[in-house]
Homo-oligomer: A and B are copies of this chain.
């Protein structure tokens, strides 16, 4: 004999979420069972709210509930400086530094020939037209320091430089608070290459 069908169904749906295995899914399903009905309802409403009210900015492709997004319209942000990231969630990582006051451009992915992702699958055209308008001084390429992220960064630099814009890449090196002991040789090499004078 098995669990009641509605529980099994919820366990199945929860298992489709990233990072949720069979055990977590069952624990979550039983939690939903115990939780007050209003709380379950609030969770459903929140899921719906995301699907219904969140869209992508037609300028920078960041997620937003108003198009164009606040980063693109806020007069306090320097629209002549664009930070390019792979995914919308990367924007908040840059924002948390508190030091960046430019605009963003989200590629919605990264070049990956192995997974069949080519330049036409990314939001590169929009970036080129933003830069091509002559409204941009510098593009900071903040794709991940992975093979794909690096390849994408190089590809973008080759497209953007002829447009007369400054193209920069975020620094790679030893993470702050870490120990050289734990650095792999490539990271250590990048840290040496990227050394700066006092």
Contacts and interface: CB of A to CB of B under 8 A. Distances in A.
Contact of A31 (B12, B17, B29, B52): B17
10 contacts: A3-B63, A6-B46, A6-B50, A6-B52, A10-B47, A13-B46, A17-B28, A30-B89, A33-B50, A40-B50
Interface in A1-36: 1-7, 9-10, 12-14, 16-19, 24, 26-33
A48 interface: yes
Interface secondary structure of A, over-half rule = helix
Of A9, A12, A16, A65, the most chain B CB neighbours within 10 A belong to A9
Interface residues of A, number: 52
Interface of A: 1-7, 9-10, 12-14, 16-19, 24, 26-33, 37, 39-44, 46-54, 63-65, 70-71, 74, 87-89, 92, 95
A31 to B, nearest CB: 5
